[in-house]
C-alpha cells in the first residue's frame, strides 16, 4: 500500500513552490498525496522564518501532529527556512519531530523517510543551500505554474534572515527556465509566475545568463498567454523591465515593488540601498510607460528607532502612490541579523496601531481605485472557486475579479466590471465576439451572455 503524504506550508510563494517539489519528489518515490492530516502516514511542515509570527504558527501546529502520533504511527519531518536556521535545536525542543530537511536538496526526502522507518535515528539534513537542483513538481494549480528563476539573495537588508536561510543569489540557467516554460505551454498552462527572492538580481552573479529584462523578453515570446513575476527590489529594478511590461501584451501590468518604509532614515538603517525618491522615481516611470499599472508593496512598521515622523512619512507614501494592495508586517527581530542587535524599542501596542492605521488607509484607497474600474471590460483568467462556490480569476493587472455568471476554469473571459470592494472587483462574464477577440476596456465587441 502506498504511503500517504500530507504537507503544510507557511510563507512566500517560493516556499509554496518548494512544497510542490517536495510532493513531486515523494510521489516519484511512490507516495500519494492527501489533503487530510488525519489520513497521512508522512507529514511534512515546510516552514517560514521571515517573521516571528510565522515561526510561532509552525510551533503551534506541531501539537496537532503529536496528537496524531499518539493514536497511530506517523513520520513527521520539519523543513524550510525555520529548520535551516534553528537546526538540530528543533529536535531537542520537540520530540515529535522525526527528521529535519533544509531549503535545498529536496531529492534527499525519500531517503530521510526511509532512515526513520529503519530506526536509524532522527536525521537532520541541512546542507548549505545550493542551486542547480531540478526536481519534478506536483503543481497545485492547473492554470498558473510557478517557475523559479533565482534562489537565495545576496542583498544585505539589516532585518532580513533570507540570505542565512536560503543562501546567496543563485540564478538558474536561462535555457532551463525557457525549457520549463515551453513544456508548461505544451501542457496547457495559461500563465507562469516567475519566482525569486529578488527577480531583478537575476544574472548578477552569472553575467553570461544575461539580465532579468532579457529573460522576461524571452519568456514572453514562448507563447505563454500570461507572464507574472515576483518580487522586485527598488535597488535592482531596471528601466528595461518596465519597458518589457509595456511592450508585451502577455506580460501582466502589475509590479510588486517592496519599499518597506517611506522614511529615508529608516531605509538607510535597513540597508535597503534605495531612497524614498528612488522609489517614487520608479513609480513615476512605471505609470508613464504602462497605462493603469497596478503597483503593490511590502511595508514594515515598528523597525528599531522608528519615530512618529518616520511613520508619518510611510503613511504619506501610501497616500501618494495609492497602491492596489499592500502587505504590512510588524517588525520582529530575526536571529543572526544586524537588526537583532538593536533594541526592539517600539512598543508592541504602537506597532499594532501603526499596522492597523496603514491597513485602514489602504482599504480606503483600494476601494476608490477598484471603483474606478466599474464599467470597464477586463480579460479575466478564471483560476479558482470562492468559499461560496462561485468562480474568481485575475485581470492582467493582478486584481481579483469575482465572477457573477458562468465561466470555465482555466479560460480567459471578458468580464464587465459591475461592482467593487476593497479586496476585489465583481464582473459579469461576456460572450466573445465571433472572431474570438477578447476585451480589456468597455465598448468592445464582447456582448452579454
pLDDT given for residue 439 in this prediction: 44
The three three-digit cell numbers of residue 232, written as one number: 522586485
* Assigned CATH for 4-125: 3.40.50.12160
Residue 129 reports pLDDT greater than 90:
no
Q: Return the C-alpha cell found at 261.
A: 518604509
The per-residue pLDDT for range 200-246, each reduced to its tens digit, is 999 999 999 999 999 999 999 999 999 999 999 999 999 999 999 99
pLDDT band at 433 (very low <50, low <70, confident <90, very high): low
> Tens of pLDDT along 172-187?
999 999 999 999 999 9
All 3 cell numbers of residue 235?
535597488
Q: What is the pLDDT of residue 438?
A: 42
User: DSSP assignment, residue 37?
Assistant: G
Where exactly are the structural domains of the chain? 4-125, 144-371, 377-448
Residue 190 CA from chain centroid, whole number: 18
Mean pLDDT of 439-444: 37
Mean of per-residue pLDDT scores for the chain: 94
**pLDDT tier at 441, thresholds 50, 70, 90:** very low
- Supply the angle between the helices 174-186 and 212-220 in degrees, to the nearest 10: 20
- Is residue 240 helix, strand or coil? helix
178 contacts 132 by C-beta, under 8 angstroms: no
Residue 449 or 401, more confident: 401
Q: Do the Cβ atoms of 438 and 416 come closer than 8 Å?
A: no
CA separation for the pair 169, 163 (Å, rounded)? 8
Phi, psi (deg, nearest 5) at residue 42? -130, 130
Q: What is the pLDDT of residue 7?
A: 98
Closest residue by Cα to residue 194 from 261, 127, 244: 244
Query: Which CATH fold topology does 144-371 show?
Result: pyruvate-formate lyase- activating enzyme (3.80.30)
Pairing mode, strands 391-394 and 377-385? antiparallel
**377-448 homologous superfamily:** Nucleic acid-binding proteins (2.40.50.140)
DSSP assignment of 302-363: --TT--HHHHHHHHHHHHHH--SEEEEEE----TTSGGGGS---S-HHHHHHHHHHHHHHHH
The reply to whether 144-371 shares the fold of 4-125 is no
H helical segments located in 209-263: 212-220, 239-247
Amino acid at each position: 500500500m502506498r504511503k500517504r503524504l500530507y504537507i503544510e506550508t507557511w510563507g512566500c510563494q517560493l516556499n509554496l513552490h518548494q512544497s510542490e517539489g517536495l510532493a513531486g519528489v515523494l510521489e516519484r518515490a511512490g507516495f500519494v498525496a492527501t489533503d487530510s492530516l488525519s489520513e497521512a502516514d508522512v507529514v511534512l511542515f515546510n516552514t517560514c522564518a521571515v517573521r516571528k509570527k510565522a515561526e510561532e504558527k509552525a510551533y503551534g501546529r506541531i501539537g496537532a501532529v503529536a496528537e496524531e502520533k499518539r493514536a497511530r504511527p506517523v513520520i513527521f519531518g520539519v523543513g524550510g527556512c525555520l529548520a535551516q536556521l534553528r537546526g538540530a535545536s528543533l529536535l531537542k525542543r520537540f520530540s515529535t519531530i522525526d527528521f529535519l530537511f533544509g531549503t535545498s536538496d529536496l531529492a534527499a526526502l525519500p531517503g530521510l523517510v526511509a532512515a526513520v522507518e529503519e530506526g536509524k535515528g532522527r536525521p537532520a539534513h541541512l546542507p548549505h543551500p545550493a542551486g542547480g537542483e531540478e526536481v519534478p513538481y506536483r503543481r497545485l494549480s492547473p492554470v498558473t505554474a510557478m517557475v523559479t528563476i533565482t534562489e537565495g539573495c545576496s542583498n544585505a537588508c539589516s532585518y532580513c534572515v533570507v540570505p542565512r536561510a536560503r543562501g546567496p543569489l543563485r540564478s538558474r540557467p536561462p535555457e532551463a527556465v525557457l525549457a520549463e516554460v515551453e513544456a508548461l505551454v505544451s501542457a496547457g498552462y495559461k500563465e507562469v509566475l516567475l519566482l525569486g527572492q529578488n527577480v531583478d538580481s537575476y544574472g548578477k552573479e552569472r553575467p553570461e545568463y544575461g539580465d532579468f529584462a532579457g529573460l522576461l523578453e524571452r519568456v514572453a515570446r514562448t507563447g505563454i498567454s500570461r507572464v507574472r513575476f515576483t518580487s522586485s527590489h527598488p535597488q535592482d529594478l531596471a528601466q528595461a523591465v518596465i519597458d518589457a511590461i509595456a511592450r508585451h501584451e502577455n506580460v501582466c501590468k502589475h509590479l510588486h515593488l517592496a519599499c518597506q518604509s517611506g522614511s529615508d532614515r529608516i531605509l538607510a538603517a535597513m540597508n535597503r540601498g534605495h531612497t524614498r525618491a528612488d522609489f517614487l522615481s520608479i513609480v513615476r516611470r512605471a505609470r508613464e510607460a504602462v497605462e493603469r499599472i497596478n503597483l503593490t508593496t511590502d511595508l514594515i512598521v515598528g523597525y528599531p528607532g522608528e519615530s512618529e515622523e518616520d511613520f508619518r512619512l510611510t503613511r504619506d507614501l501610501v497616500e501618494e502612490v495609492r497602491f492596489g494592495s499592500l502587505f504590512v508586517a510588524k517588525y520582529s527581530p530575526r536571529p543572526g541579523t544586524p537588526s537583532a542587535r538593536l533594541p526592539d524599542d517600539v512598543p508592541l501596542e504602537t506597532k499594532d496601531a501603526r499596522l492597523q492605521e496603514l491597513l485602514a488607509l489602504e482599504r480606503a484607497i483600494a476601494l476608490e481605485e477598484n471603483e474606478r474600474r466599474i464599467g470597464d471590460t477586463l480579460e479575466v483568467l478564471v483560476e479558482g472557486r470562492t468559499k461560496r462556490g462561485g468562480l474568481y480569476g485575475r485581470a492582467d493587472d493582478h486584481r481579483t475579479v469575482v465572477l457573477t455568471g458562468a465561466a470555465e476554469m482555466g479560460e480567459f473571459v471578458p468580464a464587465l466590471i459591475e461592482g467593487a470592494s476593497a479586496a476585489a472587483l465583481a464582473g459579469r462574464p461576456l460572450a466573445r465576439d465571433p472572431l474570438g477577440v477578447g476585451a480589456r476596456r468597455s465598448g468592445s465587441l464582447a456582448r452579454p451572455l
